[in-house]
Amino acid sequence: MGTWQEHIDHVSAKGLLAKRLYVILTTPTGALEALGEHLGAHLAYQKDLETRGITFAAGPFADDAEQDWSGEGMIIVRAGSLAQAKQIADADPMHMHGVRSYRIRPWLLNEGSCTLTVRYSENFRRVD
């Protein structure tokens, strides 16, 4: 193994994307009802991050059987450093009010694809 930077350099040299992102794994600290009190502010904050180009992707996790939601979620952000990602997570109303805690994992996006379909005449757009 080596350092994180050595790994980034290695995959970059192989022609992979090597896009640095930060994954915020967020978990309720208590009853789900407490989340509802801050949901509006949380969603507004997430929308603002999206509008400013900070959010790469975000959303909730289901349980392993895809039946229940326990309040867990994930937010992937574009940030210049772990410290900046922490500032972004700290400013989330869910975290500010202590109804969720979080863990941040630096992540390297190497592979994958995205297909965007736009039909102007129908005002239609789809991302797969």
pLDDT tens-digit map of 5-58: 999 999 999 999 999 999 999 999 988 888 889 999 999 999 999 999 999 999
Domain CATH code at residue 64 = 3.30.70.1060
Structural domain count of the chain:
1
3 state DSSP class of 21: strand
Confidence band, pLDDT 50/70/90 cuts, at residue 100: very high
| Helix count and strand count (H, E) for the chain | 4, 6
Q: Tokens standing for 92?
A: 């989330």
pTM: 0.89
Counting every residue written for the chain, the total comes to: 128
Q: Tokens standing for 80?
A: 């210049």
Q: Answer whether 104's CB lies under 8 Å from 85's CB.
A: yes
The domain of 35 spans 4-127
